[in-house]
Amino acid sequence: MVATVTPFPEGFGAEISGLDLSKPLSGEDRAIVYDAFLDHHLISIPGQSLSPGEAVTAAGIFGDDLEPHLFKHFHHPKTPLIMVLSNRTEDDGQGGKKPKGMADAGSFWHTDLSYKPNPAKATMLYALEIPLDGGDTLFCNLTAAYEALTDAMKKRLDGLRAVHNYAYVPRDVFTSGKVTPPPDCSQPLIRTHPETGRKAIYISPFYMVRIEGLAEDDSEALKKEIYDHCLQDRFRMEYKWRTGDVLAWDNAALMHSATTKTLDPSKHRTLWRATISGEPAF
């Protein structure tokens, strides 16, 4: 059976049916998955049951270079290439409890690893446990947002660069010294996709510090103008998870936000995350 691609009604994203990622995919099916990833920016493959090794293999469809997350304390015990996202706790071996994974992996708008010279190409999540309601993931189509800009705004943004920093907004792991963030990283404000050639507004509100070459007030005003444009409803969608879903997205085309910060702690959500390294943005 050859995989079937069904676009989502929101204007981007697609579901791919007819696949079992626990088994080797044919060359044809791998091509269908990858082409859908490029065409639709976001793909969902439902009904999966994967071991850690199988999840790593599935992530390899989107690129050969998988990257361990900076937060080593949330790596999967069987492989550092998987980060555990969970609001469950487990025994710490000393009579207490410790987090099973990272409870909130980012309930804020961002693009993965935009704070590194080689930002993430793709991110893949595999849902082991999903509550009946809550814990959804929001996506914003930055490619469509760019294409909707006026010609004057495209010209204004062309060539501008912005500074990104992982610790731009203070977090306990940084202020406590538990994790040392990478240094400032400069990224283009308009990014050209390395494979499709399509342009996108390359922003990461939680990590984007300032626009280079502008006074602070002017930088903040332009950042707000860009964010207000991108976060219009017409560029957004909400993905409602199901247990067994595999979700992968193109970080050169989208930004996203978790909603786990507002999830009732009695409702449990556990996912595995794999990150595929990318090339420098241009």
Contact 55, 270 (CB under 8 A): no
Name, in order, each residue with C-beta under 8 angstroms of 163's C-beta and a sequence gap of 6 or more: 184, 185, 186, 208, 209, 210, 211, 212
Residue 122 class from Cβ within 10 Å (0-12 exposed, 13-18 middle, 19+ buried)? buried
Average pLDDT, the chain: 96
- Pick the residue with more confidence: 96 or 138? 138
d(CA 111, CA 100): 24
Across 89-116, average pLDDT: 92
Q: Which residue is it, tokens 């599935």?
A: 58
Q: Which residue is it, tokens 């993965």?
A: 112
**Residue 1 clears pLDDT 80, i.e. is over it:** no
Do β-strands 42-45 and 14-17 pair in parallel, antiparallel, or remain unpaired? parallel
d(CA 153, CA 74): 41
CATH of domain 4-277: 3.60.130.10
d(CA 263, CA 17): 29
- Per DSSP, 250 falls in state E
Residue type, position 223, single letter = K
d(CA 87, CA 39): 33
φ/ψ bin of 105: left (φ > 0), alpha (ψ from -120 to 50), beta (otherwise): alpha
pTM of the model: 0.95
Q: What is the pLDDT of residues 16-39, one digit of tens each?
A: 999 999 999 999 999 999 999 999
Contact 102, 71 (CB under 8 A): yes
DSSP element (H, E) containing 36: helix 27-40
- Nearest to residue 280, comparing CAs of 182, 191, 181, 212? 191
| pLDDT number for residue 61 | 98
- Per DSSP, 271 falls in state E
| pLDDT number for residue 87 | 96
Q: What is the pLDDT of residues 208-262, one digit of tens each?
A: 999 999 999 999 999 999 999 999 999 999 999 999 999 999 999 999 999 999 9
Q: Which residue is it, tokens 């502008």?
A: 214
Q: What is the pLDDT of residues 145-198, one digit of tens each?
A: 999 999 999 999 999 999 999 999 887 878 887 788 889 999 999 999 999 999
d(CA 82, CA 43): 19
Alpha helices in the chain (DSSP H): 27-40, 52-59, 142-147, 151-157, 172-175, 216-230
- Per DSSP, 196 falls in state T
Across 106-125, average pLDDT: 97
